């Protein structure tokens, strides 16, 4: 809400993408995760109109303006990028909030399809803009749930709340420890530069599409595994040996990833909170990639090549991030070796005939906020 608690007529809001230090596919299993917000954001320039319509345009899609009656969003056939902001408007209205009419202009620096939560950044930038424009009585938890519901029900991607939570709750200089089972979060200091380290993000330029089915199948398999083990969710299994009771080898692999990934998140949080050398989390990142590759089976040749090349170039640890089936990796490196690591990955990609990757150093940044 605005500082005065009253509606504002127009403004610009921003919400960041995110990258997970550790904790993939754990959110919808009531587990743990540890993301940071990226400096790359999606901005939403919003203006209240009062005409009963929502108009959405994007700097990345010039000439493709969408104009829909708010009362008819439930049956809208609009597809593609515009469905994300329309879904947020629809979700607010569905929950009984009055949106009299609005114009939204989006501009994004978060790479699309890179597993860095560009969609959640869109949703959260629109959600916080609408909250302030219309002085809606919603909490941060509500913002997160509106974005999640828009992506689940309106877009059709069966995601959890990890991406929206990171986009709303992260703070600069920290990683965000999320406990989805208890609905709790805490800030964990994450200042790699102070120890001469850096977190290199490598976008493999192989876009993933969570709504295409692979993500939803993994979620269903996790639910089936939990049911077969007689627990409410896989978070309730703390001994990885328990998954061996599953007769189905696919469900056994899926459950093993979730149980071991939760343990990895807790181990990384303990290491960072204890003030030890962050290099110690490198092997945990490596183990996380092996689990996503072998047990959850969502890696790709490009992701594996990027991880292998980063480690061979001297990274302390590396792993794929995001929902999988494409996207990005992270590599924990010495700050003065990021360029060398990036070049090694680029050379490997050229040799293998892959598209050219894109790299940048991730700096823990602030969550969603008003810009002007």
- The residues annotated with a catalytic role in the active site are 163
- Give the up-direction half-sphere exposure of residue 281: CA atoms within 13 A in the CB hemisphere: 31
β pairing state of 102-108 and 53-58:
parallel
Whole-angstrom distance, CA of residue 339 vs CA of residue 317 = 16
Could you count the other beta carbons within 10 Å of the beta carbon of residue 193?
12
Nearest alpha carbon to residue 13 among 163, 135, 171, 125: 125
Are 7 and 38 in contact by the 8 Å Cβ rule? The answer is no
CA distances from residue 135 to 3, 127, 139 in whole angstroms, order as listed: 10, 12, 11
Name the H helices within 195-300: 214-229, 249-273, 282-294
Whole-angstrom distance, CA of residue 140 vs CA of residue 146 = 10
Whole-angstrom distance, CA of residue 132 vs CA of residue 1 = 4
The single-letter DSSP state of residue 365 is B
The single-letter DSSP state of residue 77 is -
Could you tell me which residues come within 8 angstroms of residue 139 by beta carbon, excluding any fewer than 6 positions away? Answer: none
- Give the up-direction half-sphere exposure of residue 261: CA atoms within 13 A in the CB hemisphere: 33
Could you please report the per-residue DSSP string of 142-161? HHHHHHHHIIIIII-----S
Residue 295 DSSP SS3: coil
Whole-angstrom distance, CA of residue 328 vs CA of residue 341 = 15
Whole-angstrom distance, CA of residue 313 vs CA of residue 222 = 35
């Amino acid at each position: 809400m605005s500082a005065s608690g009253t509606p504002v007529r127009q403004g610009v809001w921003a919400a960041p993408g995110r990258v997970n230090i550790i904790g993939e596919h754990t959110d919808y299993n009531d587990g743990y995760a540890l993301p940071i917000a990226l400096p790359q954001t999606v901005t939403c320039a919003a203006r209240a109109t009062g005409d009963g319509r929502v108009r959405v345009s994007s700097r990345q899609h010039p000439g493709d303006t969408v104009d829909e009656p708010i009362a008819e969003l439930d049956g809208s056939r609009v597809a593609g990028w515009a469905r994300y902001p329309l879904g947020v408007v629809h979700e607010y209205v569905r929950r009984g909030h009055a949106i009299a009419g609005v114009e939204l202009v989006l501009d994004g620096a978060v790479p699309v399809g890179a597993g860095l939560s560009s969609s959640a950044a869109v949703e959260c930038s629109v959600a916080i803009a609408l909250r302030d424009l219309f002085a809606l009585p919603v909490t941060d938890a509500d913002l997160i749930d509106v974005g999640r519901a828009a992506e689940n029900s309106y877009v059709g991607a069966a995601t959890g709340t990890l991406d929206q939570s990171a986009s709303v709750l992260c703070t600069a200089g920290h990683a965000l420890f999320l406990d989805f089972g208890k609905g709790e979060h805490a800030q964990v200091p994450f200042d790699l530069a102070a120890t001469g380290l850096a977190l290199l993000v490598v976008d493999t330029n192989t876009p993933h599409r969570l709504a295409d089915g692979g993500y939803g199948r993994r979620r269903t398999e996790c639910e089936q595994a939990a049911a077969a083990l007689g627990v409410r969710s896989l978070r309730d299994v703390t001994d990885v040996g328990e998954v061996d009771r599953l007769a189905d080898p696919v469900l056994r692999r899926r459950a093993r990833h979730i149980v071991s990934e939760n343990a990895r998140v807790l181990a990384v949080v303990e290491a960072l909170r204890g003030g030890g050398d962050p290099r110690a989390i490198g092997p945990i990142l490596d183990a996380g990639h092996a689990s996503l590759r072998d047990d959850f089976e969502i890696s790709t040749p490009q992701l594996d090549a990027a991880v292998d090349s980063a480690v061979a170039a001297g990274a302390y640890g590396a792993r794929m991030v995001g929902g999988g089936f494409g996207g990005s990796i992270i590599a924990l490196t010495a700050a003065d070796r990021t360029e060398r690591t990036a070049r090694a990955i680029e050379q490997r990609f050229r040799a293998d005939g892959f598209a050219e990757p894109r790299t940048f150093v991730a700096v823990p940044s602030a969550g969603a906020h008003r810009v002007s």
